[in-house]
Chain A
Amino acid sequence: MSKKDFRFVKKESNLDLEQARVSLTYWQDVWRRLKKNKMAMFGLLIVASIVLFAIFGPLFTDFDYKDQELLLRNLPPKLEVYEVEDNVFIHRTEAYNLIEFNEEGYVVDLLEQVTIDEANKIYYYSYIKEFEYLLVEGGAFPLPAGVTLDAEAFYSEVWGIALINVLADDGDNQVIIHYVHPNSPFLSGNQTNGTVADTIEGLVVDQFVFTDDISNPDLADNYTIKSDRTALFMILDMEKTLPPNTEGIRVLKGKLSHIKIFSEDILILDFGLRGLDSSEKPEGYEDVEYIITYKGKETTKITDTFSNKTYPWGTDFLGRDVLTRVMYGARISLLVALIATLVNFLIGITYGSISGFFGGSVDNIMMRIVDIINSIPLVLYVILLMVVLREFVIDVEIFGKNRVIFNGADGFTTIIIALGSVYWTGMARLVRGQVLSLKEQEYVLAARTIGVSNRKIIYRHLIPNALGPIIVSMTMMIPSAVFTEAFLSFIGIGVSAPQASWGTLANEALGGITRYTYQLVYPSLAIAITMLGFNFLGDGLRDALDPRLRKG
């Protein structure tokens, strides 16, 4: 062979041999593998939506988790209604409350029983006009000269209103408005929760013929106030809510909400036919159980079924919105799970890495302790801890004031401490095992030779390299914490009312499972979906972090 047989290869052509693929870091590679796993991405999607639901859900609802309206209790998501007048739909609750809905399914008004004829099974209902005042300024309204009130009336100079007790037909005490001062704030205050008129002024004029005769004490009949308090106590209560305020006097919202005024249109619910055989019923009413009479028109059949728009998931036994409660429950359940998992993570990682790194008798003793803790049924100890912590209140005197820094009765902190302090042993074992094998690696030896401190070796070299299995174990720990929290709340030692986690919601719904199944279905579904999401995600992460572990 001569030299001519050879020729120089151009230098650039070497480039063809180079890998075209971008090199990925370990975590980028994990992400790539995770993205390929459909179940894991599905799980991630579920987890992300549940978290979004918990964070942003409550912003989109009109209710608070503790808002209750007893008359609206146990309203189902699907409503059966009677159309008593054109576009006036009435829903009858199990407790014989009547609620008016409009055709779109929103609550319009509540009707309250005014008279009950128990013997003939006839209930009479009326619309309630219930008011709350905001920013009503009180003042000094002395009784004008020339007006004489009944001797039994109680007059409030702050509010310019006189109330009097009268005996109703049924013997119950009733409070009626006896007199209103012409300048009384009741006539000008902004009404924030009423249905007929925007201001009390308009309402008073339209609805109750409250015109020039405003100072006439005779108008009492139109102002029946339904209250279980007497006139004197109502007056005292109203005046008590006034803080010393230079800008004027404010009524706190809700303080005057006891005042209910009934309108004159009476709706009659006759259920005398209920439970009778069809042969005993009068002709034409063979399959009728309830007769609703409104403005002279009888309605006997459920006319329509539509979804409840005001409460899309219904209301619970205290008339709280189930959707709102499930959203707030998501916050509590997820937060408890997350914090408890983080606490477990910190304790477990510290304990496990120290035990594994130092080895020998340190390891032996530390692992025996873990063994002992593990041989104790942990659920029992969580229950015991919950009960123990609930009794503790730690208050410390700071700057001469007693400040409560820990109150066990607040179930939220208690449950986090109980869950966080018990379930770290699994994590400790896992980290120890990882550290035991990792510490023999050359890079640890290299670190030692250049004099890196033990602490730094653990936190800079060992733990980051053991992170894969740790993360998988954490993803699995979150659903089990949700599970345990739900379980504890379910047996009645979880977060305290009115706060609610999913477990509490399920527990509360248990009593009415036969009639109000929906109350149980929604929180249960929420728990199950969350568990499913985290499980899928955890399985996927395990496969992505360590492809060798992939099963099947």
Chain B
Amino acid sequence: MGNYYIKRLISVFFTIILIATITFFLMRAIPGGPFTRERPVSPAILENLEKKYNLDDPLIIQYLNYMKGLATFDLGPSFKILGTTVNELIVEGFPTSAKIGGLAAILIVSVGVPIGIISALKQNSIIDYIVMFGATLGVTLPSFVLATGIIYIFAVKYELIPPTGLGSWKGYIGPVIALSGYSLSFVARLTRSSMLEVLRQDYVRTARANGISEFKVIAKHALKNALIPVITYVGPMIAAILTGSFVIEKVFDLPGMGTYFVDSVSNRDYTVIIGMTVFYAAFYVVMVFLVDVAYSLIDPRIKLDS
């Protein structure tokens, strides 16, 4: 078992290196660099700039230098935002994204799973139909539509929440709901269908036949198995929403990671792009790893060694 975790950790490590490598060379393959302007910069200035950021070294040296920096968690300076390092940008943007994302993740799990369970237990009742209708709607509405809808109805028409910014606690309501809308609906649907499947299993019937209370049957026996597909989905999802949603940040005008990423892509700010991609990917890979660990805790039958 321990052996497996070590193997997985090593592969996590290699995946991150691989992602950094692919991104690095992909970015360098683009014609035009961070110093390409509408008005061409004079060759002398360009040369100095490239010298300053070591862009005149051979590509392989640049790559090795970058990797060296990465090993010490130094993601390098931003080419476009003067005097700022990528680390600073992440430190600046991540808390905003993480706050919204964290709240959204809590909302998704604490609301999505219970309503999925209730809907499965009351299958074909009014509650079930309402939940399923809402969840289908939530899955089909793109996040930007949901976000702009929330702004229009709650911020503009009824002025219950501020349209942009995170000044007060009310400011969080819009982004969190918009961010969690899709995943919440998805989790509810997933929980419902997997719960329905588990409830039909023989061991649940046996447990009931043994006279165990209904609550215990659901909470102790059925739920554990029903949650496995949910965890598979929730793990990577948390990584995705913690690191910021471009759309939500754009619509609600929040200074999060997503905004920096999109800006850096259009600015061709190499180091920021690679840095943020690596940060995001690392987060993602680690979450997938944690999901695997969670599997073995929930369901001892899943043997990770094999």
The answer to whether B27 touches A375, judged by C-beta atoms less than 8 angstroms apart, is no
A495 adjacent to chain B (CB < 8 Å): no
Q: Whole-angstrom distance from the CB of B259 to the nearest CB of chain A?
A: 10
Q: Whole-angstrom distance from the CB of A465 to the nearest CB of chain B?
A: 25
> Which residues of chain A are near B302, meaning CB under 8 Å?
none
- Selecting from A82-90, A122-130, A485-493, the interface stretch reads A485-493
Who on chain A is nearest to B193 by CB? Answer: A551
> Which residues of chain B are near A528, meaning CB under 8 Å?
137, 140-142, 145
CB-defined interface of A476-497 with B at 8 Å, one 1/0 digit per residue?
0001000100110011110000
B45 adjacent to chain A (CB < 8 Å): no
> Which residues of chain B are near A380, meaning CB under 8 Å?
261, 277, 280-281
A232 adjacent to chain B (CB < 8 Å): no
B60 adjacent to chain A (CB < 8 Å): no
Q: How far is the CA of A383 from the CA of B140 in the complex (A)?
A: 22
The answer to whether B284 touches A514, judged by C-beta atoms less than 8 angstroms apart, is no
Which residues of A219-258 are within 8 A (CB) of B?
none
Partner of B145, one of A384, A506, A535: A506
B225 adjacent to chain A (CB < 8 Å): no
- Selecting from B17-25, B78-86, B167-175, B206-214, the interface stretch reads B17-25
With contacts A375-B281, A384-B265 taken as known, whether A514 is within 8 angstroms of B156 at the C-beta atoms is: yes
B219 adjacent to chain A (CB < 8 Å): no
> Which residues of chain A are near B149, meaning CB under 8 Å?
524
Which residues of B249-306 are within 8 A (CB) of A?
250-251, 261-262, 265-266, 268, 273, 277, 280-281, 284-285, 288
Q: How far is the CA of A491 from the CA of B30 in the complex (A)?
A: 20
> Which residues of chain B are near A490, meaning CB under 8 Å?
142, 144, 247, 250
Q: How far is the CA of A490 from the CA of B277 in the complex (A)?
A: 20
Q: Whole-angstrom distance from the CB of B20 to the nearest CB of chain A?
A: 11
Q: Whole-angstrom distance from the CB of B219 to the nearest CB of chain A?
A: 22
Q: Whole-angstrom distance from the CB of A352 to the nearest CB of chain B?
A: 21
The answer to whether B140 touches A532, judged by C-beta atoms less than 8 angstroms apart, is yes
Q: How far is the CA of A490 from the CA of B137 in the complex (A)?
A: 20
Interface centre among B30, B139, B261, B280 (most CB of A within 10 A): B30
A387 adjacent to chain B (CB < 8 Å): yes
Partner of A387, one of B30, B124, B277: B30
B203 adjacent to chain A (CB < 8 Å): no
Q: Whole-angstrom distance from the CB of B13 to the nearest CB of chain A?
A: 12
Who on chain A is nearest to B18 by CB? Answer: A372
A377 adjacent to chain B (CB < 8 Å): yes
Partner of A527, one of B142, B273, B284, B285: B142
With contacts A383-B265, A384-B273, A513-B151 taken as known, whether A375 is within 8 angstroms of B136 at the C-beta atoms is: no
Q: Whole-angstrom distance from the CB of B102 to the nearest CB of chain A?
A: 19
The answer to whether B139 touches A535, judged by C-beta atoms less than 8 angstroms apart, is yes
Who on chain B is nearest to A374 by CB? Answer: B288
With contacts A375-B281, A377-B240 taken as known, whether A491 is within 8 angstroms of B247 at the C-beta atoms is: yes
The answer to whether B142 touches A535, judged by C-beta atoms less than 8 angstroms apart, is no
Q: How far is the CA of A528 from the CA of B146 in the complex (A)?
A: 10
> Which residues of chain B are near A114, meaning CB under 8 Å?
none
Q: How far is the CA of A384 from the CA of B19 in the complex (A)?
A: 13
> Which residues of chain A are near B250, meaning CB under 8 Å?
490-491
A81 adjacent to chain B (CB < 8 Å): no
Q: How far is the CA of A376 from the CA of B23 in the complex (A)?
A: 10
Who on chain B is nearest to A483 by CB? Answer: B142
Which residues of B153-178 are within 8 A (CB) of A?
156
The answer to whether A551 touches B285, judged by C-beta atoms less than 8 angstroms apart, is no
Q: How far is the CA of A383 from the CA of B240 in the complex (A)?
A: 15
With contacts A514-B152, A524-B148 taken as known, whether A486 is within 8 angstroms of B142 at the C-beta atoms is: yes
A531 adjacent to chain B (CB < 8 Å): yes
> Which residues of chain A are near B262, meaning CB under 8 Å?
383, 491-492
Who on chain B is nearest to A520 by CB? Answer: B148
> Which residues of chain A are near B193, meaning CB under 8 Å?
551-552
The answer to whether A513 touches B152, judged by C-beta atoms less than 8 angstroms apart, is yes
Partner of B280, one of A377, A391, A514: A377
Who on chain B is nearest to A514 by CB? Answer: B156
The answer to whether B142 touches A388, judged by C-beta atoms less than 8 angstroms apart, is no
The answer to whether A487 touches B19, judged by C-beta atoms less than 8 angstroms apart, is no
Q: Whole-angstrom distance from the CB of B159 to the nearest CB of chain A?
A: 11
A392 adjacent to chain B (CB < 8 Å): yes
The answer to whether B156 touches A372, judged by C-beta atoms less than 8 angstroms apart, is no
Partner of B26, one of A384, A514, A535: A384
B15 adjacent to chain A (CB < 8 Å): yes
Q: How far is the CA of A380 from the CA of B265 in the complex (A)?
A: 10
> Which residues of chain B are near A375, meaning CB under 8 Å?
15, 19, 281, 284-285, 288
Q: Whole-angstrom distance from the CB of A153 to the nearest CB of chain B?
A: 40
The answer to whether B18 touches A487, judged by C-beta atoms less than 8 angstroms apart, is no
B92 adjacent to chain A (CB < 8 Å): no
Q: How far is the CA of A270 from the CA of B32 in the complex (A)?
A: 53
> Which residues of chain A are near B246, meaning CB under 8 Å?
491
Which residues of A493-520 are within 8 A (CB) of B?
493, 506, 510, 513-514, 517, 520
With contacts A376-B281, A487-B247, A528-B140 taken as known, whether A552 is within 8 angstroms of B18 at the C-beta atoms is: no
The answer to whether B140 touches A531, judged by C-beta atoms less than 8 angstroms apart, is yes
Q: How far is the CA of A372 from the CA of B17 in the complex (A)?
A: 11
> Which residues of chain B are near A376, meaning CB under 8 Å?
19, 22, 281
The answer to whether B281 touches A391, judged by C-beta atoms less than 8 angstroms apart, is no
Q: How far is the CA of A520 from the CA of B152 in the complex (A)?
A: 10
B88 adjacent to chain A (CB < 8 Å): no
Partner of B148, one of A384, A392, A491, A513: A513
B31 adjacent to chain A (CB < 8 Å): yes
> Which residues of chain A are near B29, meaning CB under 8 Å?
388
The answer to whether A524 touches B30, judged by C-beta atoms less than 8 angstroms apart, is no
> Which residues of chain A are near B30, meaning CB under 8 Å?
387-388, 391
The answer to whether B136 touches A535, judged by C-beta atoms less than 8 angstroms apart, is yes
CB-defined interface of A336-376 with B at 8 Å, one 1/0 digit per residue?
00000000000000000000000000000000000010011
User: When A and B form their complex, which 7 residue pairs have the shortest distance between CB atoms, in order from nearest?
Assistant: A531-B140, A524-B145, A532-B140, A391-B31, A514-B156, A375-B15, A388-B30
Q: Identify 6 residue pairs between A and B in the complex whose beta-carbon atoms are under 8 Å apart, listed by A's number.
A: A380-B261, A387-B266, A514-B152, A520-B145, A528-B140, A531-B140
Q: A380-B281, A528-B137 are in contact. List 16 more A-B contacts (CB 8 A).
A: A375-B15, A375-B19, A377-B240, A380-B277, A384-B273, A391-B30, A479-B140, A490-B142, A490-B250, A491-B262, A506-B148, A520-B148, A524-B144, A524-B149, A528-B142, A531-B142
